[in-house]
Amino acid sequence: MAEATVKRTGGGRGRFITFEGGEGSGKSTQIKALAQRLEAAKLRTIVTREPGGSPGAEIIRHLVLSGMGKLLGADAETLLFAAARDDHVRNVIEPALNQGIWVLCDRFSDSTRAYQGRLGNVPPEVLNAMERVTIGDLKPDLTIILDVPVEIGLCRAAARRGIGAPDRFEAEDVGFHRDLREAYRQIAADEPQRCVLIDATPDPATVAASVWAVLHDRLLTTPAGNAVNSA
């Protein structure tokens, strides 16, 4: 499990790893920790986020998080997330993967499934159609879903925010965040080959060790148990 056992996997396409979870689940802390570990293992890595991650998508991020999307209604808000994703995938994610770079993305299409689908009642056929346009065949190689009880997550988000105003989704009520947690647990149960649910209640170092163990087993080790070496 130590970094020393990880051999360079350069040469081929990079790996696409997404992080998902409710408010205050600790995604950004964990992504940062994982990026450092991958860099230490000599794997070229970038960290990006949604909504946003490319100049065009960051403009849309500003719009949706300001609450403008909510005024337009769930379908139109979903279109805004899709437009941002389209720009991000074409200009940042795909080019990086094609250069052999590992991409760590804070939220991706599961966020749309959970927030707009389960909570916004946007029908699956609409989401499927948008995914066909925005991401096509691009599926994450691994999705880490950080799971934390709603009360703890909201407390963490409030502490991080300080005196700043909650954004569009942080401002929703506790029932919304409970449903959101269920939506993510369901996604993890439905797609176990891609998704892993990790308990994000412990301290950050403990959660980081769990994330690394999963990543190592799924993406850095061959079925025979050897570290990958595709260089």
Cβ–Cβ < 8 Å for 14, 102: yes
How far is it, in rounded angstroms, from Cα 171 to Cα 199?
A: 24
The footprint of ligand TYD on this chain (CB under 6 A) covers a number of residues equal to: 14
147 binds ligand TYD (CB under 6 A): no
How far is it, in rounded angstroms, from Cα 200 to Cα 205?
A: 10
Window contacting ligand TYD (CB under 6 A); options: 109-117, 130-138, 141-149, 203-211: 109-117
Window contacting ligand TYD (CB under 6 A); options: 34-42, 103-111, 128-136, 184-192: 103-111
Nearest to 103 by CA among 112, 94, 116: 94
* Burial (CB count within 10 angstroms: exposed 0-12, middle 13-18, buried 19+), residue 59: middle
16 binds ligand TYD (CB under 6 A): no
- The residue (of 6 and 211) whose beta carbon lies closer to ligand TYD is 211
Window contacting ligand TYD (CB under 6 A); options: 1-9, 40-48, 110-118, 205-213: 110-118
53 binds ligand TYD (CB under 6 A): no
Q: Quickly tell me which residue has 């990543």 as its tokens.
A: 215
Residue 46: helix, strand or coil by DSSP?
strand
| Interface residue list for ligand TYD (CB under 6 A) | 23, 27, 50-51, 65, 81, 106-107, 111-112, 115-116, 167, 169
